[in-house]
A and B are shown apart, each in its own frame.
Chain A
């Protein structure tokens, strides 16, 4: 036969039985040319440009779904950080721009739009301060807008003023969106070493080094890897890594094919494939389950960090071979609320915040979708962020914190977001104060790049 039936059935099995899909096709759009002193003009420019560029995005992605028979779960847009686009504005409240982004996203039918963002790893400009102050209102007034702030890099160190500020902004966002379980915080992420071409939310924005417009793709596929690992319970680590690598190759290849298809159809250059294994709340589509199938009784027990390190490295090795351009976050995600296995691990007491923090040192993206008691202080949230930023800057990698202090909820409670965002058990935090530490102000210096032991 011209095509091998085993290969065909393997693909069909992945899609039909193992939740394999393309997580997102994200179009990055440059909005720098939308700048104007009058914020109303900026809003109009932004709206028109998004409609012009992304008007056909959803339809084209759907066409590719039919052509290749693989679901594309989300279609998204990322834009130039709004702090840059709005820099010339006389108005200091940028939340109306978020509303415009929301309207444009709804008009073109995308699931999320990212880029209500600022990069302040070394210091704030006036417009970046304006943007950060606008975040709670912006996330309260919109449904599909995502926001991110980069507060640290390996080259600049950690901007601790911004870290403390983000602790306060997260609190304020939680309070404003309290009636929806603080969902605003699920759309707000704080980064170290943020990538400029990430297609995943909530951290996606269109970086200033990017082209006018690009198509980036985020793959999925924890369910596929889980089944592979389940099938080979007796093999040693060499063979285990090799099998994951080979599967990651195939998954990534599909992402590359779909991305190139959309790119060709829309005549917009193809950017990158993000190799991240992104879980969903669907049973079996779970990173925790992969680790458990490697031989851990529950995700979070001793050995979890090593298992995750192996998984993450094997996925990158397989994926790097499959795609011409790999970028974005490219690592396994361990969001608690979006991963049924993670939720169960937390509920059974196997996984706590400390172990999650350790796990983030060997994978992307960081402390992701962690619900904590609503009474947690802004200073404690800032300290959690600071720890995560330190792991990123010292290890020259991206890390992030997406922390949700749910008003009125305590340890033992649960918060439900629905859809891909899932549900999260409220996790316990350390009750000793970090307030004096995070209030010192200034920057934690950039780490030494040599003497690496």
Chain B
């Protein structure tokens, strides 16, 4: 199993649906030049879930810093924000 060098992360925003979630999150990503490759919305049990695949190879700040920025933006909307390297999902679910 080789680890990927690509710098793509998956951002999951979880909470009660409300106005402005996408705008808020994409605003943070745009500010630091993180490129959204894909975006989708679904439900996890009763919670609203927004999932984004984001390329951070040209981002001006580190992954850790970006994660913190996203999480504090999420807090303002009372949403939980998780960010993980895409490898997690590729390796956990696929052979």
Given A4-B93, A69-B82, A12:B12 Cβ within 8 A: yes
Residues of B within 8 A of A254 (CB): 88, 91-92
Contact among A1, A15, A68, A324 for B40, CB-based, below 8 A: A1
Give the complex CA separation of A8 and B39 in angstroms. Answer: 12
Q: Apart from A4-B93, A69-B88, what are 7 other A-B pairs with CB-CB below 8 Å?
A: A3-B10, A12-B49, A13-B44, A67-B85, A250-B92, A254-B91, A261-B3
1/0 per residue, CB under 8 A from B, across A11-30: the answer is: 11101100000000000000
Contact A10/B42 with A1-B53, A69-B88, A70-B88 known, Cβ cut-off 8 Å: no
A209 at the binding interface (Cβ < 8 Å): no
Are A2 and B53 in touch, CB under 8 angstroms?
Answer: yes
Q: Which of B1, B12, B80 contacts A8 (CB 8 A)?
A: B12
In the bound complex, what is the Cα–Cα distance between A274 and B21 (angstroms)?
41
Could you write out 14 A-B pairs with CB less than 8 Å apart? A3-B10, A3-B38, A3-B86, A3-B89, A6-B42, A7-B92, A9-B12, A11-B84, A12-B14, A16-B82, A67-B84, A68-B88, A70-B88, A257-B1
List of A residues within 8 angstroms of B79 by Cβ:
none
- The minimal Cβ–Cβ distance linking A244 to chain B, given in whole angstroms, is 16
CA separation between A10 and B42, bound complex, in Å? 12
Query: Does B37 lie at the interface of the complex (its beta carbon under 8 Å from any beta carbon of A)?
Result: yes
B51 adjacent to A5 (CB under 8 Å): yes
The complex places the Cα of A1 from the Cα of B87 at a distance, in Å, of 15
User: B44: which A residues are within 8 A, CB to CB?
Assistant: 9, 12-13
Given contacts A11-B88, A67-B84, A69-B88, whether A260 and B3 have CB atoms under 8 Å apart is yes
1/0 per residue, CB under 8 A from B, across A316-332: the answer is 00000100100000000
The CA of A6 and the CA of B10, in the complex, are separated in Å by 13
- How many Å lie between the Cα of A145 and that of B95 in the bound state? 39
Q: Is the CB of A9 within 8 A of B93?
A: no
**Chain A residues whose C-beta falls within 8 Å of the C-beta of B37 in the assembled complex:** 2
Interface SS of chain A: helix
Q: Does A264 contact B (CB under 8 A)?
A: yes
Is A338 engaged at the interface, CB distance under 8 Å to the other chain? no
Q: Which residues of A contact B (CB under 8 A)?
A: 1-13, 15-16, 66-70, 250, 253-254, 256-257, 260-261, 264, 321, 324
Minimal beta-carbon separation of B88 from chain A (angstroms)? 5
10 smallest beta-carbon distances between A and B, as pairs = A69-B84, A7-B93, A257-B91, A253-B92, A67-B85, A250-B92, A68-B88, A9-B44, A1-B38, A5-B42
Q: How far is the CB of A403 from chain B (nearest CB, A)?
A: 37
CB distance A3 to B53 under 8 Å? yes
A11 to chain B, nearest CB (A): 6
User: CA–CA, A324 to B1, complex, Å?
Assistant: 8
Q: Compute how far the CA of A16 lies from the CA of B85 in the bound complex, rounded to whole angstroms.
A: 16
Contact at B63–A67, with CB atoms within 8 Å?
yes
| B83 within 8 A of partner (CB) | yes
Q: Which of B12, B53, B80, B84 is in CB contact (< 8 Å) with A68?
A: B84
CB interface residues, B 32-63, toward A, < 8 Å: 37-38, 40, 42, 44, 49, 51, 53, 63
A257 and chain B: residue at smallest CB distance: B91
